[in-house]
Structure 1
């Protein structure tokens, strides 16, 4: 395989185990569930406001002061509802993960952060103005009397914590944190919600004991924090003890890249699919406090599993040197970057760098007929061709076409490919002539992936046929 070249493998014969109509049927079923989840998301916010209005709130708009105060209450209820929805989306509930995928659930989770914060800020401001109008004080002077109300200081603390969480979630700020450091800060969102509970249940009689509103809000809190307790804490602990995972071997793949092999018990019962990821924690003095979202790089057997890790920072460097026998705890499996997400008759794969890891497991687990799959492997140098030999063997076994591109990114033309290929007029559609009838799976560095994804959209590929796996958080 020479630099800046494109190679092609022969295509043997065989048969497929899954028909395209079955995939489309599965997609439609997932789409209906996803639509129901989105509807429930927005309906919960509407229900929060509707219950307030239906249980006497509608009569509290008689004066300008009452109207401002009531609007403040409504914004607070909807904002709190959005925060609870965010917690549910981050809980990694299996039905949500299997339907919309972890990446999309977290994208929606993040998109609600700013609206929730703005609503809660409006809640505080409108209440200050409304109370000030009622008492004749200016809003600033009203802060003192408000803080004298029992549980109100906790509400201010909760709002302050939520502001910190939202600010640290901004991309420009988030990049300044390590994953673990940011994760610890993000746990403040749970504290922010919990410290505001007494305020919500006791102030103003809005959620009076025995009322439908009170039952609704308690149910929301139970759903949100029950989901976190179940799927982020209890279930991972139970799975870790049940499967007794340990490091069995660490294999050097390339400079700065290792494959970590695990031994365990009954691993097939996890029902993980090729392309999914787990969140791993290695119990050594240097690594126990770090959790690592890393994809499988091969399909597990009943007694073994494997991940492949590139040294991209302090955390990944530390786990690259773990010793055999190290105990490992985990959460997962997660993600929709699997064969189950397919809807089209053809399969196209574009992968770069360490993005090869989920693609290698995905290809091993995929159910395809010969000639159905086309794979493009991308690397900047020959040193970055991690696991390409394994992909080549799988491609031959599956009857897939395999192309490779090696070289620095082009300065003109499609920026995700080497300059010689871009200068020759190579395009995504020339590599994948059946792109419109293909599911396109893309994995690699985020900036590079965005270029390929934009190119695919310009080529007209339907959104539901576009599948990406990003290595950011």
Structure 2
């Protein structure tokens, strides 16, 4: 279509939108939780250093050699605390996921990578200088001496090498050169890096010395982090897989290179109301069981018997070898599931108006969100973007939902203009249309965006120019 076309009309019977936002209290609670988590995170770093100082660490600054050693210890304490925070951010804790969302938690996780590595490198260098000054050796000779004299010190060097490997593979330029599975496997080395960093603390650093407060602090922090990882990354997925007993029932073509995978299982009503939140799926078939697939539901789970049996569906596009193989799944294939994760759902709402914008396969979470999130007739706008009509996946279902729920629907098809940063087709962009042209109440609405990264960035920029605040913007990323 060459012009923005409104394809779903509002029903004749409309009730006036309720005054004020029913999500105001929800938003304030989420904001308070996010602020509280931030305070706790930084307080943990300050607390680790303060406990060391309180246990006699300040005496180390009495000499030049002691000052270098003391600064090295402080850098190591802060760096290790940040590493443990990184692990917790990636542990998929419900309290973190519900406060800031999975994407934002991983963004913080990535941002802490370099600072933690720099602090750990500074720890090694400063310790080598401090010990070397005390023994009359240069830093390199001192490092060799520590490797030889201290039985556990070689593990500290191994730990540092592992941390460097993890941080380097996290760089976007490096990540894009390797498949997701390689990057994921390398990141599992973070756990090995933490474990190999602990022994030398007993033999050299005195971190767990008897009778110190820091001993109990670090024991508590390490045990809590390990327990959280074991529970939420291992035990909960196993329990969910056993409880829901998911099996592939059929695979149906939903467009060119796009299939919908329908699954049956038990107690699927527990997954209802998750909107566009995503799950991690593993299809337990030969050659596929070790591939984790982060996909959102494309429809809310449907319960069809009193015993908790039901059906759910995901819709996936052929974007690589992993997703292409899903089209060949056989009925009866068992499915392991983790989740749901993220804040691409009603839990992120702060306004009564809502605008949902999807492009390509990013339309499928929009369909699930449209089905579940509450709004009054006339308070929702849905915009679907594709190169052609066939690229508006699940378009007929979305049209039916919009007509039934009283949402306004726009289909935008066609190529983007060359040399112009826009999310719209060429005709609309050159005609001066903006996001606010489709949603007049945009500045007072929650805006959900799901699609390719560059396209979504243009949508978000357009929304910001229209006066939409950051807390109203909800973006589901498709990159890793």
Query: Normalising by the residue count of structure 2, what TM-score does the alignment of the two structures yield?
Result: 0.95
Aligned residues: 472
Matched, 1:334 2:341: yes
Match of 1:442 among 426, 449, 452: 449
Kindly indicate whether residue 472 of structure 2 is the aligned counterpart of residue 465 of structure 1: yes
Structure 2 match to 1:296:
297
Q: What's the counterpart of residue 276 of structure 2?
A: 275
The corresponding residue for 1:244 is 245
The answer to whether the 8 A contact 2:22-2:352 is kept is: no
Please tell me whether residue 9 in structure 1 is matched to residue 8 in structure 2. yes
C-alpha spacing 1:199/1:19, structure 2 compared with 1 (3 Å): farther
Query: What secondary structure sits across from 1:298 in the alignment?
Result: strand
User: 2: distance between equivalents of 1:234 and 1:146?
Assistant: 40
Partner residue of 2:133?
133
Shift in Å, 1:73: 0.3
Select between 20-29 and 283-292 the one with higher mean Cα deviation: 20-29
Are residues 1:151 and 2:158 paired?
no
> Which deviations, in whole Å up to 9, do the C-alpha atoms of 1:158-208 show, x marking residues without a partner?
110010000000111111121112111110001100111111233232320
The aligned counterpart of 1:228 is: 229
Mark the CA change 1:309 to 1:84 in structure 2 (over 3 Å): closer, same or farther.
same
Gaps of 5+ in 1: none
The answer to whether structure 1 residue 374 and structure 2 residue 381 are counterparts is yes
**Counterpart mapping for 1:387-466 below 5 A:** 387-411=394-418, 413-466=420-473
Which residue of 2 is the match for residue 192 of structure 1? 193
Structure 2 residue aligned with 1:306: 313
Q: Determine helix, strand or coil for the equivalent of 2:260.
A: strand
Structure 2: 5+ residue stretches without partners: 304-309
Report the CA distance between 1:8 and its aligned residue.
Answer: 4.1
Is 1:47 the counterpart of 2:47? The answer is yes
2:448 partner SS: strand
The structure-2 alpha-carbon separation of the partners of 1:438 and 1:445, relative to structure 1 and needing over 3 Å to count, comes to same
User: Which string of whole-angstrom CA distances, capped at 9 and with x for unpartnered residues, describes residues 313-353 of structure 1?
Assistant: 00001122101000000110111100121111211111100
In the alignment, does 2:185 pair up with 1:201?
A: no
In the alignment, structure 1 residue 182 sits paired with structure 2 residue 183: yes
1:86 equivalent in structure 2 = 86
Q: Give 1:310 shift.
A: 0.2
State the distance in 2 between where 1:101 and 1:52 align: 33
Distance of 2:395 and 2:24 partners within structure 1: 31
Listed one character per residue, the Cα deviations across residues 2-28 of structure 1 (whole Å, up to 9, x for unaligned) are 355423421123559997543011110
* CA distance, structure 1, for counterparts of residue 8 and residue 311 of structure 2: 30
- Alpha-carbon distance change, 95 to 15 in structure 1, aligned in 2, over 3 angstroms: farther
Alpha carbons of structure 1 residues 352 and 305: separation in structure 2 relative to 1, 3 Å = same
Equivalent pair of 1:416/1:452 in contact (CA under 8 Å): yes
For normalisation by structure 1, the TM-score amounts to 0.97
Q: CA deviation at 1:450?
A: 1.1
Q: Is the 8 A contact 1:3 1:381 kept in 2?
A: no
Aligned equivalents of 1:320, 1:41: Cα separation in 2: 43
What is the aligned partner in structure 2 of residue 59 from structure 1? 59
Q: Distance in 2 between matches of 1:159 and 1:470?
A: 31
Q: Kindly indicate whether the alpha-carbon contact (under 8 Å) linking 1:16 and 1:367 is maintained by their aligned counterparts in 2.
A: no
> Using the alignment, how far apart are the partners of 1:367 and 1:137 within structure 2?
69
For residues 272 and 441 of structure 1, the distance between their equivalents in structure 2, rounded to whole angstroms, comes to 16
Q: Output the CA distance in 1 between the equivalents of 2:287 and 2:478.
A: 23
1:36-56 CA deviation, whole Å, 9 max, x = no partner? 001111111111111111110
